[in-house]
Each structure stands twice: as C-alpha cells, then as structure tokens.
C-alpha cells in the first residue's frame, strides 16, 4: 500500500514538471521523422524519374541531329 502511494506521488510530481510528456513527445517525433523519410524517398524517386526523362530527351535529340546531319 505504501509503495503504491509512493509511486502515485512520484508520477504526480513527474507529470507536473512535464517529464511524463517526454515519452509522448519522443513518439510524436519518431512518427514525424518517419513521415519525413517517406517524403524524402518519394521526392528522390520523382527526381530520378525526371533525370531519366531528361537523359532520354537528350539522347533523342542527338539521334535526330545525327540523322539530320547524315541526310
């Protein structure tokens, strides 16, 4: 009984100073970091696709220029 009362008092004191909220903040921060990582992966894939498209266009222009020069 005395142990439970002491635990309750400690939890109340820690909750009052904000230390109990640290775990919730850490969990929220982890979720935010995971979301940012997912966003970064999507952005990286989008940029990769844009670079590939630009390379294809450049190759097509070179082929067209070579064909035009050969005619």
Q: Is 80 exceeded by the pLDDT of residue 20?
A: no
Residue 54 domain-assigned? yes
Give the chain's domain count: 1
- pLDDT for 52: 96
Q: What is the mean pLDDT of residues 50-59?
A: 96
- Tell me the residue range of the domain where 64 lies: 42-71
- Condensed to tens digits (0 to 9), the pLDDT of residues 59-70 reads 999 999 999 888
For 60, the 3-state DSSP assignment is helix
Residue 71 belongs to some domain of the structure: yes
As a whole number, mean pLDDT of residues 42-71 equals: 93
Q: Do the domain assignments include residue 1?
A: no
**What is the pLDDT of the chain when averaged over all its residues?**
81
Higher pLDDT, 10 or 43: 43
Residue 23 domain flag: no
Neighbours of 14 (CB within 10 A): 13
Q: Is residue 31 part of a domain?
A: no
Q: Tell the residue number behind the tokens 């400690």, with chain if given.
A: 10
Please indicate, yes or no, if residue 70 is contained in any of the structural domains.
Answer: yes
Specify if 46 maps to a domain. yes
């Amino acid at each position: 009984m005395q142990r439970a009362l002491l635990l309750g008092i400690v939890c109340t004191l820690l909750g009052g100073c904000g230390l109990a909220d640290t775990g919730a903040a850490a969990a929220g921060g982890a979720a935010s970091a995971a979301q940012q990582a997912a966003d970064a992966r999507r952005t990286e894939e989008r940029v990769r696709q844009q670079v590939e498209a630009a390379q294809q266009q450049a190759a097509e222009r070179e082929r067209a220029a070579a064909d035009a020069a050969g005619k």
